[in-house]
Amino acid sequence: MDSMAGDSPELSSSFSGGGEKKKVYVAMGAGESKAMVLWALQKFPDRAAAAFVLLHVYCHPKFIPIMGTRIPASQVQEQQLIAHKKMELQKISDILDEHLLLCAQEKVQAEKLVVESDDVADGLLQLISERHVTALIMGAAADKHYTKKMMALKSKKAQAVEQQADPFCRIWYICKGTLVYRRMDVAISNEAMREDRRKSGDQQFSVDRSTSLSDTWCISNTWLHEPNLGQQTGRTSPCRLYDNETDIVREFDKPDNKFNHMLQELESVRKQAYEEKCSREKAERELLEAFQKARDSENLYSGEVKQRNKAEEKLTATMEEVEKLTETTDELCAKLQEERKKRLALEKRTAHSDRIIKDLMLQRDKAVREVEALHANKGESSATTEGEMHITVLSCSEIKEATNNFDHSLKVGESVYGSVYKGFLRHTNVAIKKLNPDSTQSQSQFNQEVEILSRVRHPNLVTLIGACKEDQTLVYEYMPNGSLDDRLACKDNSKPLSWQLRTRIISDVCCALIFLHSNKPHSIVHSDLKASNIILDGNNVAKLSGFGVCRMFTDAFRNTTTLYRHTHPKGSFAYIDPEYVMTGDLTPQSDVYSFGVVLLRLLTGRPGFGLLKDVQQAVEKGCLEAILDSSAGDWPAMQADQLARVGLKCCEIRRKNRPDLQTEVWTVLEPMLKSASVKLCSLSFKSVSEDLGGVPSYFICPILQDIMREPLIAADGFTYEAEAIREWIDSGHRTSPMTNLELLHHDLLPNHALRSAIQEWLQTNAN
């Protein structure tokens, strides 16, 4: 045993001189540090004569970690075993590459070697035998077991290699960068004995060259463990060596007490060997017991897995039964619905005469109201009464002529409900939606959109111009910038939306929803809010469309409950309210959830699926900037954080935890909108200077979406066309058309400066 950590003289003597480079094998575990390689680089002085082989013995694992559980390798599929092995070998290769780089920096030749074996010690012994390894550096124990007083090998692998390795292989045992023990080969041991005997004056000591390899190794080891034996005894006469299978007898020209002392030491060594053997047998028994316990645990785990599989099979069978029951229920509901339709048809036939009379009376009343309105406005166009709006009835021939008989090249959009075409009707560009005739719900959607859009009007709701009932077509104002979904995807190489425009779009959508939810006398829920149903006009003002599945709540119904039960939820899955999906109960809070998804999409530019989880994690980790849409420009950090939190709050699973749009969300959006509007205004002036043909956005009336002739400033600070804002106020509205907040007063002030600017612009462009 040699615990010295200094330079070893045999390192210099064995690797000095010319000739082929000697290979030094450095055995490392997967988790060891580079301390062993640094020790080798420091202790081998003649690096030009030595080449390092960075060695790792890979043992096939008995257990495989899967999802936090250690599964026996025998129970894991072959593909998983191969994947695990490939991953482990890659980690080992990366560690060896790091140490190869360290050797290259020190200008030392090195290579890496990975050996597979069922046992580390067996792998090392087999490598030493097959490659005739003469120099090996390996660990004496794990670094955590190292102490300054450490004098023995703690690792069972190291002990096995020490006892069974080829005698001609020198081994250095390292722990935490310190030499703990070194083992020399037979030639160096004999040379050390001869040198020691020469120094002690005993020139007659010799070793018979015919002595067997095992006997020589035994003698050399004995001599190494007593390096000063000759000097201590003071012998002057020669010694004789007798070798047999069990004992080594030494006779020295020395008193008998020394010989007795040697016998006592030999006896002590035998006792220690016996005790170690007993300890090893005890450890083997304990290991066997541990294996048995592990096997019992595996059996128990296998039983639990089988039980879980049975439970899952039962659950699957139960779910299938539930699905069948659901299908049966839906079929019964459909049949019931058909019966109701038949009954309603009978009722309609019996009440046909009453309806004719009633329609005549309604037409008479409507004519009287129109005449009174004309007299009241002194020849001006009649104001639209609350809850009623003029819809132009169009013929099939007009629709076909406007779309060139629905030419495919004019198609600008398509969905499961129908197709949208760009048309030219009565000297105006329009968007014409033709509902799918094969759809069983096309008639109800047609009626729903006509009913809703004929009752309400708002700057952020698409304007319905006319309809053709026979051809199931609806005519809307044309929106040249397409849907928000297309603009986020930069369809047709369109420019990305800036963060200022996105802020205004968020505010536009919020205003539209507040208006719908607070509509009088009946609240309206859109129920299909998504990016494809938000369309942008020429000034990128957002407007809601797709009212085919919206719902209107009557006052009587609102007094009894705030919920509307709908058996089959509609809408895109990424935007739909989870509680609506589970319960079928539709409320205005369902629109709030969809609004939250739209907000987060505008913020990040990402699709809806998985978006909530990504934003939630980014906000919690404080790395929201990493998922913001960089094409929108540099979002203000505080504004982006506020919008993300508002979006996540709107997307709460429970409805009761979602915020109110008017009292909570709008208070956050309003100051953002004002800031973004200032920047957009400056950008608008710039765009006008670059393109005189474009109409500045501040020349456009927010209600009529046309150039203003007589601009008036209302109490909300916005400027409107006189006819439009007066009609808005006279029809009974007490809120702003833009913010849906209550107007403090109904006074209107002329905007002379804007009127002069508009007239000058019109004269310039007319020339």
Active-site annotation holds for 528: yes
Given a cut of 70, is residue 566 above it in pLDDT? no
For residue 111, the model assigns a pLDDT of 92
**pLDDT grade for 262, boundaries at 50, 70 and 90:** confident
202 compared with 19, residue with greater pLDDT: 19
| SS3 call for 471 | coil
Rounded CA separation 463/477 (Å): 6
- Judging by DSSP bridges, how do beta strands 711-713 and 551-553 pair with one another? unpaired
**pLDDT grade for 277, boundaries at 50, 70 and 90:** confident
Which residues, listed in sequence order, are joined to residue 178 by a DSSP beta bridge? 175
Residue located via tokens 């002590």: 268
Rounded mean pLDDT, 526-545 = 89
For residue 366, the model assigns a pLDDT of 52
- Residues 284-327 have pLDDT tens digits of 888 888 888 888 888 888 888 888 888 888 888 888 888 888 88
Q: Which of 528, 591, 629, 716 is catalytic?
A: 528
Given a cut of 50, is residue 422 above it in pLDDT? yes
Most trustworthy range by pLDDT among 209-218, 546-555, 647-656, 698-707:
647-656
- Residues 361-385 have pLDDT tens digits of 444 445 445 555 654 554 433 333 3
Q: What is the pLDDT of the chain when averaged over all its residues?
A: 76
Which pTM does this prediction carry?
0.44
CA Rg, the chain, in Å? 46
Rounded CA separation 147/176 (Å): 9
- Residues 85-122 have pLDDT tens digits of 888 888 888 888 888 988 888 888 899 999 998 888 99
Residue type, 484: L
For residue 657, the model assigns a pLDDT of 94
- Residues 469-504 have pLDDT tens digits of 888 888 888 888 889 999 999 988 888 999 989 999
Rounded CA separation 54/35 (Å): 13
Q: 257-294 in b/e burial notation, b at 16+ Cβ within 10 A? A: ebeeebeeeeeeeeeeeeeeeeeeeeeeeeeeeeeeee
Rounded CA separation 685/695 (Å): 10
For residue 196, the model assigns a pLDDT of 55
Closest CA to 726 of 450, 743, 673: 743
- Residues 625-683 have pLDDT tens digits of 999 999 999 999 999 999 999 999 999 999 999 999 999 999 999 888 877 765 554 44
525 compared with 358, residue with greater pLDDT: 525
Which residues, listed in sequence order, are joined to residue 464 by a DSSP beta bridge? 476
234: phi > 0 → left, psi -120 to 50 → alpha, else beta; which? Answer: left
For residue 202, the model assigns a pLDDT of 44
CA distances (Å), origin 717, targets 425, 511, 738, 748: 35, 16, 10, 10
- Of all residues in the chain, the percent with pLDDT exceeding 70 is 74
- Residues 738-758 have pLDDT tens digits of 877 888 888 888 887 778 778
Q: 194-207 in b/e burial notation, b at 16+ Cβ within 10 A? A: eebbeebebeebee
